[in-house]
């Protein structure tokens, strides 16, 4: 997974899988889900990120092992 914040466009992108986007769906204003040609979710885009996320340029995430 790759997380990218573009300060110029104020867009936060979460790239889940490599591949080309074949279709996009704006599920609510400013939240776009991108799918490949097989229908798999490949990325999530959040427009106007600084209005929706506190400090989008410093996103934190954690991985935990289950088991």
Instruction: Write out pLDDT tens, residues 41-60.
Output: 999 999 999 888 777 777 66
Residue 11 has pLDDT above 90, yes or no: yes
Helix, strand, coil fractions of the chain, as percent rounded to 5: 10, 40, 50
How far is 24 from 59, CA to CA, in rounded Å? Answer: 24
pLDDT score of 31: 96
Instruction: Assess if residue 27 is contained within a domain.
Output: yes
pLDDT above 80: residue 12: yes
Domain containing 43 equals: 2-58
pLDDT at residue 61 tops 70: no
64 located within any domain: no
Q: Is residue 53 included in any domain, yes or no?
A: yes
Residue 65 lies in a domain: no
In the chain, the number of structural domains is 1
């Amino acid at each position: 997974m790759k997380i990218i914040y573009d300060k110029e466009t104020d867009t936060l992108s979460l790239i889940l899988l490599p591949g080309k986007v074949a279709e996009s769906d704006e599920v609510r204003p400013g939240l776009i889900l991108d799918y490949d040609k097989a229908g798999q979710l490949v990325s999530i885009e959040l427009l106007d990120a600084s209005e929706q996320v506190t400090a989008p340029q410093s996103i934190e995430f954690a991985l935990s092992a289950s088991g």
